[in-house]
Each structure stands twice: as C-alpha cells, then as structure tokens.
Amino acid sequence: MKPMRMYFITEEDVFYVIRLFRRFFSHWNGSGIEIAGVAICKPFNKKSPLTLARQMLGFYGPRLFVTQGVRYTYRMVAGHTIESLCGKYGIPVEKPDNVNNEDFLQRLRALAPDLVISVAAPQIFRKPLIELPRLGCINIHSAILPAYRGLMPVFWAMYHGEREIGLSVHYINERIDEGPLIRQVRVPVPAGASLDEMLKEMKDRGGDLLWEVVQSFRDKTVSTVPYPDVQPSYHSFPRPEDVKEFRRRGYRIL
C-alpha cells in the first residue's frame, strides 16, 4: 500500500511557526508518511519587505522593532528558517506568489498529495485547491474556534482577558476558519505570560497536536467533533492603538 503523502502551505516565520515545524518533523521523521513538499508564501501575504516592515513597526513600536529586527537578521543569516529546516530533512520547497494560480495547482496535482496542511498560510484557499487532495485540506488555528477567527488570535484572546487559549485543527472550506472541526485543545494562560511566551507555547503544542491528527488520517480513524458553544468572532491584524491598549491592560509583547 502506498504511504500517505502530505503537502504543507505556510509562511516564513523564524520566530514562531518554525517551532511548530521543528516539533512536527521530530515526530514525523522515520514514520513512513511522505511529505511531498512545502510551499512558503510571503509573510502576511505582503508584496514587499518594506510593507511588512511598516506593519511590524506599527505592531512592535520603535524599540521592540529594532530588537526583533536584530533577532530576525541573525536567524536569517544563520539559516534558522523553515526553508533551511526543510532542507535538513530533504523536503522540497517552493515559493509561489499565489497558491490558487493554475500553474501552482498543476505542480501540486503532479505531486498527488493525499492531504494539504495549512500552517499559518497567509492566503485564502479557493475551491480548486480545497478539492485537489484526496483527503482534503486542513488548517491549525491558535484559538478556541469559532471564537477569534482571522489574524493574530493569541493576541486578541489575551487582549480580551481570556484565561484559556485554544488550538483547533479543522477542515478548510471556502469560509475563513469555519470548516468542520477535527480536534480542539485548550491551553491555560499563566499569570504574567507575555504574548511572545504564549506564541511559543502554542506553536510547540501545535506541532504535537497536528501530528496526532495526521496519524488519525493515516490510520483512517479521523472524525469530526462539534464546535464548542462560544461566541463567534473575527479579528484583523492589530492596529498600533490596539497594541497600546494591550499594554495598558497589563500585557507584554516580549
């Protein structure tokens, strides 16, 4: 019997998303499941580094922007990237401009993945991509869905004083973060925890949870569960005034 084949769509993130992949690959290595490739998109789907830098300056503020800029530069130069991590495992990488373009879809069809996995993918999947893999497309989202759909869910959960943050793995459909739920776990927010600390914790745990879900696909035991009875919500990327209020409420970014 042919081994199950996965394909990932993500963005280059040397701070947090890479942690999920490190944890996931440590479970996956030697499992017999194939990873056909990883598509790495531009962070937050920004068209230029300058546009991304402006957004990050607004989020971090001047002092932390410089701090993170130095850390980012070091990690890029030192090769602490998702692309380099994939290279260590011999996993092919490509960098498509648009994962819904027909040229990318043709290449993906040729790879014949059984399952496509979104990990912080910054582009909305359209119907041809969603219907391409035999087992479907799934996404992992750091929230107790249906609450905190959209961008930066950990920030917004802390902003609103939540004492628990979730990890949800769900099928992808044409509505954002609304596909049938496969697994969901809750993670407590310790008193005094920074956003940075919680993001690291969520990505580490996310790698474990995603591997459990992938095994359920391989073993043909995957199933769906009802969404919890929580207030649905959707958030965009935080504005500078949102970050200011986040700090006023006693939370730290780093």
Each residue of 90-134: pLDDT tens digit? Answer: 999 999 999 999 999 999 999 999 999 999 999 999 999 999 999
Nearest to 201 by CA among 75, 20, 64: 20
Block residue for tokens 């092919």: 92
DSSP summary character for residue 90: T
| DSSP H helical ranges for 8-152 | 17-28, 49-78, 82-88, 102-111, 127-130
Residues 35, 7: contact at Cβ < 8 Å?
Answer: yes
* Strands 181-188 and 164-171, sheet pairing: antiparallel
For the chain, domains (ranges, CATH) are 5-248 (3.40.50.170)
70, exposed or middle or buried, with CB in 10 Å at 0-12, 13-18, 19+? exposed
Q: In whole angstroms, what is the distance from residue 156 CA to residue 238 CA?
A: 8
Tens of pLDDT, residue by residue, the chain (254 residues): 789 999 999 999 999 999 999 999 999 999 999 999 999 998 876 667 888 888 999 999 999 999 999 998 999 988 899 999 999 999 999 999 999 999 999 999 999 999 999 999 999 999 999 999 999 999 999 999 999 999 999 999 999 999 999 999 999 998 888 899 999 999 999 999 999 999 999 999 999 999 999 999 999 999 999 999 999 999 999 999 999 999 999 999 99
Residue 47: what pLDDT? Answer: 63
Nearest to 121 by CA among 43, 61, 55, 58: 43
What share of residues in the chain are helix, strand, coil (percent, to 5)?
40, 20, 40
* Strands 164-171 and 5-11, sheet pairing: unpaired
3-state DSSP of 151-200: CCHHHHHHHCCCCEEEEEEEECCCCCCCCCEEEEEEEECCCCCCHHHHHH
